[in-house]
């Protein structure tokens, strides 16, 4: 997706809160589904702009953007974004450009008046999942995460033989994907205590988060028709933050030989706003594979992916304990890294997903796998930071220590993109709080 006037860093909006907003300036315009908090209103599509949301259903009812943007607007205003995602990049771009014009400082008075009447403060809305997620697949594509965890389990040979040859994934549980702010209970399951000969049934004692990103499928592919790597991004609508909560004691006992099951399927949290691939265009970076490492097979290698297949999204993880909440202290940041470190790109993940003929559908969700960087403080899960629970980490503010998550802990993921010559854009946050087992 080429850069155009919607990416110009000095572009401004007549909505003052959008100008210089750390997440939602006019250069972003991410999509979500909202209604007024506590109301029985119908859910409808919306776009975040500054400290407001633009109600797309309300705008569609009172103002024409012209064609083809009006048709796109009607799709984006629905209670789920599946149909809008299915419409493809030309439709997405038409609506982005039209909304940019309506919200820009150069908009005429009629457009300003119409849009202003459709704004709702962000702190007055609630969110639901932006799509009807038919399927959810979670990848495993961070070399540093694989090495960190692998050294804990298989010290002599931390990487599986296939890791550097293909984007590994497992099929997750779509029904337990929840929107940010949804709390969940500590799960039960089987675990094998150290030195024990038989497992026990117990609430999870090694609860973890995983810092991930998610991406949503746009147009699908027919059963039996793989998506070539060169075409893969035409099938990707945008990205969000994703927390793949993990019960490590349950996971490590059950996952041999078939992979995660109960250790993963109890809850997956995503942020409410989807940042489009078009908005992310200024922050694309090359896909690089060192010469001494295995190079991708031909179907996972392509010039465009080499040139700009990566995305430089800055990411952070913070923990807000119950004690910090009581004392009014801020959450303690424990990790900061970048998505640019992933070993495989999202286009390669999609191409691999479909290479056997699997048919993806609009609104499907894929997780990228835990995002960890090359240094210890860039680890994307607490099992890495605490070296498998052997080294407690100390939280700033309260001085509390953690090897794994405790009841009452809230984990907050944040993501943003910034560089010289581009306006900073962000994803907001993805938050969830651990409740006691029931």
The three-class DSSP label of residue 279 is coil
**Contacts for 303 with CB less than 8 Å, ≥ 6 apart:** none
| Sign for the pseudo-dihedral over CA of 17, 19, 21, 23 | positive
Q: How many other β-carbons are positioned within 10 Å of the β-carbon of residue 297?
A: 10
- Give the CA distances from residue 220 to residues 15, 259, 279, 380, in Å, rounded to whole numbers and listed in that order: 36, 26, 21, 30
Strand arrangement, sheet containing 332-338:
184-185, 425-435, 410-417, 314-320, 332-338
Q: Enumerate the β-bridge partners of residue 320.
A: 410
Cα–Cα distance for residue pair 322/432, rounded to 1 Å: 13
- The answer to whether 82 touches 132, Cβ cutoff 8 Å, is yes
Within 170-286, where are the H helices? Answer: 248-254
- DSSP for 378-436 reads G-SSHHHHTTTTTSPEEPTTT--EESS--TT-EEEEEEEE--TTS--EEEEEEEEEEEP
Directed axis angle between helix 89-103 and helix 69-76, to 10°?
Answer: 90
Half-sphere exposure of 405 (CA within 13 A, CB side): 34
Q: What torsion, rounded to 10 degrees, do the Cα atoms 19, 25, 27, 33 define?
A: -150
Task: Report the C-alpha gap between 29 and 33 in whole angstroms.
Answer: 13
Closest CA to 294 of 146, 165, 166: 165
145 in catalytic set? yes
The active-site residue, picked from 7, 97, 127, 145, is 145
Cα of first residue to Cα of last residue in the chain, in angstroms, is: 48
Residue 177 neighbours by CB distance under 10 Å: 21
Q: Supply 237's token pair.
A: 């609508």
Rg (C-alpha) for the chain, rounded Å, is 22
* Residues designated as active site: 145
């Amino acid at each position: 997706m080429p850069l155009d006037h919607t990416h110009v860093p000095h572009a401004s909006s007549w909505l003052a809160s959008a100008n210089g907003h750390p997440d939602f300036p006019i250069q972003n315009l991410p999509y979500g589904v909202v209604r007024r908090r506590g109301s029985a209103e119908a859910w409808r599509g919306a776009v975040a702009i500054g400290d407001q949301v633009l109600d797309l259903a309300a705008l569609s009812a009172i103002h024409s953007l012209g064609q083809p943007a009006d048709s796109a607007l009607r799709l984006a205003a629905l209670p789920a974004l599946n149909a809008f995602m299915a419409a493809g990049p030309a439709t997405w771009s038409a609506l982005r450009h039209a909304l940019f014009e309506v919200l820009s400082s150069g908009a005429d008075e009629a457009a300003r008046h119409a849009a202003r009447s459709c704004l709702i403060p962000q702190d007055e809305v609630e969110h639901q999942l932006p799509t009807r997620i038919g399927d959810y697949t979670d990848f495993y594509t961070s070399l540093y995460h694989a090495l960190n965890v692998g050294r804990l389990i298989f010290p002599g040979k931390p990487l599986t033989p296939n890791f550097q040859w293909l984007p590994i994934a497992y099929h997750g549980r779509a029904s337990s994907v929840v929107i940010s702010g949804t709390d969940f209970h500590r799960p039960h399951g089987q675990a094998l205590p150290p030195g024990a000969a038989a497992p026990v049934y117990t609430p999870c004692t090694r609860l973890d988060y995983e810092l991930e990103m998610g991406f949503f499928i746009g147009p699908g592919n027919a059963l039996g028709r793989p998506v070539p790597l060169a075409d893969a991004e035409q099938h990707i609508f945008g990205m969000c933050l994703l927390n793949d909560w993990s019960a490590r004691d349950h996971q490590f006992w059950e996952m041999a030989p078939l992979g995660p099951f109960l250790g993963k399927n109890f809850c997956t949290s995503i942020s409410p706003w989807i940042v489009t691939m078009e908005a992310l265009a200024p922050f694309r970076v090359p896909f690089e594979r060192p010469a001494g490492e295995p190079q991708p097979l031909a179907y996972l290698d392509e010039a465009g992916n080499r040139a700009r297949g990566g995305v430089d999204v800055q990411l952070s993880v913070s923990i807000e304990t119950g004690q910090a909440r009581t004392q009014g202290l801020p959450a303690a940041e424990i990790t900061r890294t970048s998505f640019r470190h992933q070993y495989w790109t999202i286009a390669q993940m999609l191409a691999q997903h479909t290479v056997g003929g699997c048919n993806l559908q609009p609104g499907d969700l894929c997780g990228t796998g835990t995002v960890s960087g090359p240094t210890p403080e860039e680890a994307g899960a607490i099992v890495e930071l605490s070296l498998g629970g052997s080294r407690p980490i100390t939280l700033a503010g309260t001085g509390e220590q953690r090897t794994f998550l405790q009841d009452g802990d809230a984990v907050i993921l944040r993501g943003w993109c910034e560089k010289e010559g581009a306006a900073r854009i962000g994803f907001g946050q993805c938050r969830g709080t651990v409740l006691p087992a029931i």
